[in-house]
């Protein structure tokens, strides 16, 4: 497809999606407060019930509700929702501080992600880079080890530390301190003050069940969801000179198949190709927008099935000649690469 055809197609898809970018402000507020009510009910149960198995289950539930709340935060930062409500904007910014995603730093990193979506051989803050085969072959053993480590599932399981604390909060503080230091320090202060206060008044076990374990779970789930948006075996990359927003949104961004409950908890993150065409579509309009554009049916698909998760962790290198993702083991030079397991 020529550049002219790409631009024409982009305009066509944009026109189909544009009606869904209109916010229903009442719905935005209702959905948020319904979610906060559920969170409050779970927190109340956690405070007053002392039965370990139930406490663990409730902690998991709290963590998953925190994942849903991230959709509100994400869309607020994109000005997709709460465009006219300063109160709700500040409430969502508070969520960002609590979850070690201070608004300025997170917005900067996420904006960079959108700008370079579909770019090969780039290390972008908060992102999981993909290199092509030639770049991999030219990498030093140290760089190969670092690349494998960044994409290792263990780092995603511990996303609380590696993604949220280090990448979302600390890294921007040290990279551009004049812009992000104060908000980063505020986020750290709020986050660890909550842990201290809960421990002081309720004990460390309650603090763990109310905040630490839910944060651990939400961070791990959130990190994996972010990873899998652009890291599946079927994703495609055009030649660098042909890279454009449409191709990257449709063929380099996954559709995550989930149950209705899964879509609710994730804030419809599975319909992610729409977001890379028009970020101002509120999350509750994403399914309609996705179904309104037939070409999105060609987006690579994944799911929570075990085999799909394993597949997403098995393909790491883009082969330009074969135009597909490949495993480390498929490269002859792989034997010279130090392992990280």
- The predicted-structure confidence for 11-65, as pLDDT tens digits, reads as follows 889 899 999 999 999 999 999 999 999 999 999 999 999 999 999 999 999 999 9
Output the pLDDT for position 4: 42
Phi, psi of 222, deg, nearest 5: -65, -40
Share the mean pLDDT of the chain.
92
Output the pLDDT for position 243: 60
Does pLDDT of 341 surpass 50? no
% of residues, the chain, pLDDT over 90: 82
Q: Evaluate whether residue 288 is within a structural domain.
A: no
| Terminal-to-terminal C-alpha distance of the chain | 41
Output the pLDDT for position 333: 58
Q: Kindly indicate the confidence band of residue 117, based on its pLDDT and cuts at 50, 70 and 90.
A: confident
Q: Which domain holds residue 71?
A: 22-250+310-336
Give the integer Cα–Cα distance in Å for 142 and 276.
33
Q: Evaluate whether residue 287 is within a structural domain.
A: no
Q: Evaluate whether residue 198 is within a structural domain.
A: yes
The beta strands (E) that lie in the chain are given as 131-132, 255-257, 301-303, 317-319, 324-326
Output the pLDDT for position 242: 59
Q: Evaluate whether residue 260 is within a structural domain.
A: no
Output the pLDDT for position 119: 77
The tokens for 98 are: 């609590």
Mean pLDDT of 217-236: 96
Does pLDDT of 177 surpass 80? yes
Weakest mean pLDDT among 9-13, 161-165, 202-206, 336-340? 336-340
Q: Are 312 and 227 in contact (CB under 8 A)?
A: yes
Does pLDDT of 111 surpass 80? yes
Number of domains composing the chain: 1
Give the integer Cα–Cα distance in Å for 83 and 89.
8
- Our measurement of the distance from residue 218's CA atom to the centroid of its chain's CA atoms, rounded to an integer in Å, reads 11
Output the pLDDT for position 338: 53
Q: Kindly indicate the confidence band of residue 116, based on its pLDDT and cuts at 50, 70 and 90.
A: confident
The tokens for 111 are: 């904006």
Output the pLDDT for position 47: 97
Higher pLDDT, 9 or 235: 235
Output the pLDDT for position 196: 98
Does pLDDT of 239 surpass 90? no
Q: Evaluate whether residue 321 is within a structural domain.
A: yes
Q: Evaluate whether residue 322 is within a structural domain.
A: yes
Output the pLDDT for position 244: 72
Does pLDDT of 219 surpass 60? yes
Does pLDDT of 96 surpass 50? yes
- The predicted-structure confidence for 127-174, as pLDDT tens digits, reads as follows 788 999 999 999 999 999 999 999 999 999 999 999 999 999 999 999
Output the pLDDT for position 17: 95
Q: Evaluate whether residue 33 is within a structural domain.
A: yes
Q: Kindly indicate the confidence band of residue 123, based on its pLDDT and cuts at 50, 70 and 90.
A: low
**Bridge partners (DSSP) listed for residue 318:** 132, 325
- Other Cβ atoms less than 10 A from the Cβ of 249: the count is 24
Mean pLDDT of 81-108: 97
Q: Are 72 and 35 in contact (CB under 8 A)?
A: yes
Q: Evaluate whether residue 87 is within a structural domain.
A: yes
């Amino acid at each position: 497809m020529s550049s002219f055809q790409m631009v024409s197609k982009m305009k066509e898809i944009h026109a189909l999606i544009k009606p869904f970018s209109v916010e229903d402000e009442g719905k935005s507020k209702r959905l948020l407060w319904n979610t906060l009510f559920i969170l409050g009910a779970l927190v109340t149960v956690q405070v007053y019930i002392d039965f370990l198995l139930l406490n663990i289950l409730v902690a998991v539930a709290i963590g998953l509700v925190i994942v849903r709340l991230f959709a509100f935060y994400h869309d607020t930062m994109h000005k997709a929702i709460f465009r006219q409500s300063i109160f709700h904007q500040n409430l969502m910014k508070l969520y960002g501080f609590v979850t070690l995603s201070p608004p300025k730093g997170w917005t900067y990193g996420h904006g960079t992600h959108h700008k370079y979506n579909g770019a090969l051989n780039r290390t972008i803050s908060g992102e999981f880079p993909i290199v092509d085969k030639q770049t991999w072959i030219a990498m030093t053993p140290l760089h190969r080890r670092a690349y494998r480590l960044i994409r290792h599932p263990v780092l995603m399981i511990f996303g609380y530390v590696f993604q949220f604390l280090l990448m979302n909060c600390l890294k921007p503080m040290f990279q551009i301190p004049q812009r992000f230091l104060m908000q980063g320090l505020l986020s750290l202060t709020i986050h660890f003050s909550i842990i201290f206060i809960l421990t002081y008044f309720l004990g460390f076990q309650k603090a763990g069940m109310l905040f630490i374990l839910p944060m651990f779970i939400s961070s791990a789930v959130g990190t994996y969801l972010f990873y899998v948006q652009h890291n599946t075996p079927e994703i495609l990359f055009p030649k660098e000179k042909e890279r454009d927003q449409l191709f990257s949104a449709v063929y380099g961004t996954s559709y995550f198949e989930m149950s209705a409950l899964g879509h609710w908890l994730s804030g419809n993150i599975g319909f992610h190709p729409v977001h890379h065409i028009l970020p101002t579509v509120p999350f509750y309009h994403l399914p309609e927008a996705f179904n309104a554009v037939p070409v999105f049916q060609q987006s690579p698909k994944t799911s929570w099935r075990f085999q799909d998760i394993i597949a997403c962790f098995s393909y790491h290198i883009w082969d330009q000649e074969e135009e597909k993702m490949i495993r480390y083991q498929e490269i002859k030079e792989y034997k010279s690469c130090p392992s990280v397991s």
